[in-house]
Homo-oligomer: A and B are copies of this chain.
Amino acid sequence: MKEGPDIARLAALIGDPARANMLTALMSGKALTASELAAEAGVTLQTASAHLAKLDQGGLLRQRKQGRHKYFTLAGSEVAAVLEALMGLAAGAGHLRSRTGPRDPELRKARVCYNHLAGDLGIRLYDSLVARGFLTLGEAGLDLSEAGRSFMQRFDLDLADLATRRSPLCRECLDWSERRSHLAGSLGRALLGRFEDLGWARRVEGTRIVRFSPKGEAAFRRRFPLSGQGG
């Protein structure tokens, strides 16, 4: 009866606490099983199964069967974008559900957003690439320049392989704690993977935190300097 996309359906889907917890857990970018998601949400497996079916039917999740496990991931970066926007609004409105715990600074510093690096260091990565002309914000959105391509190849990323993915190579993503852009897309994902391969950083089990080793962080800051200061 009204024009426009059906917002209410999707929002109601996210609006249940159990489902919201599941989606938040999936923001880590990892594929989780139904049991793990049930635990995250604090409900029994039967209840979780019903919720997951709804989320799947609503197009928010993608599922993949492997043996007797069923792995779920977010359906795409657009879903992650909605969740980030909601988190930003909730954080801004002061609706934090719990006191900011001791591990909050870690979250603020470096965390995984869907599948790429966010937080202070994620912003630094983005800013550095933009400042040096490796990323350009042209008419067609964010793009990797010629100089950026050779930089990434020197960093041992296989751009040809990334180009075959369905998701765009570069995408901006707005950070909820900092309200700043950082790099998403398959390039953002690949960079995070490379940081892990290099031993610079690793994800902390069960959280969205990305913990850099002291040496890793130093190397990161050297490799991705900001124009003005040393960091």
- Chain A interfacial positions (CB closer than 8 Å to B): 1-17, 19-21, 23-24, 40, 42, 59, 78-79, 81-83, 85-93, 95-98, 101, 103-104, 107, 127, 130-131, 137, 139, 141, 172, 174, 176, 179-181, 207, 226-227
Contact = CB atoms under 8 A, between A and B. Distances in A.
Given A2-B24, A5-B95, A97-B5, A10 B86 contact: yes
A156 B207 CA distance: 51
Contacts of A15: 8-15
A180 B141 contact: yes
Contacts of A23: 7
Contacts of A181: 137, 141, 172
A101 B3 contact: yes
B5 A11 contact: no
Residue of A6, A12, A81, A88 with most chain B CB atoms under a 10 A cut-off: A6
A137 B91 CA distance: 24
Nearest to A177: B5
Contact of A82 (B17, B40, B85, B103): B85
Contact of A7 (B3, B10, B12, B14): B14
Given A82-B86, A85-B81, A180-B141, A2 B14 contact: no
Given A7-B83, A11-B15, A82-B86, 18 more contacts: A1-B42, A2-B40, A3-B97, A5-B89, A7-B14, A7-B20, A8-B14, A8-B19, A8-B21, A11-B20, A59-B93, A78-B89, A79-B89, A81-B88, A82-B89, A137-B181, A141-B180, A172-B172
Contacts of A137: 130, 137, 181
